[in-house]
Amino acid sequence: MVLWTDYFKPEHLPQLHDLFWKATKRAGEAKKTTDATVGQDLLDQIAEIDTIFWATKKG
């Protein structure tokens, strides 16, 4: 959430808004289950956010 609120800028929003929204919802689901697919889906979304973050650091 720190990246969402403090780092990313408006030019990043179209893709990131949806991605952060989905990841936040998935994190809530992951707290309520032991289903490995839910956890893996959350990790995949976090990895996607990570990739975008590091791409912005290069530019």
Instruction: Report the alpha-carbon distance of residue 16 to residue 49 in Å, rounded.
Output: 8
pLDDT of residue 32: 96
What average pLDDT does this structure show over 13-34? Answer: 89
Residue 11 pLDDT exceeds 80:
no
Give, as one character, the DSSP assignment of residue 57: H
Full set of structural domains in the chain with CATH: 2-58 (1.20.120.400)
DSSP structural state of residue 11: G
- 8 A C-beta contact, residue 22 and residue 46: no
The confidence band for 57, taking pLDDT boundaries of 50, 70 and 90, is: confident
Task: State how far Cα 40 lies from the chain centre.
Answer: 13
pLDDT at 7: 81
Predicted local distance difference test score (pLDDT) of residue 48: 92
**Which position has the higher pLDDT, 25 or 57?**
25
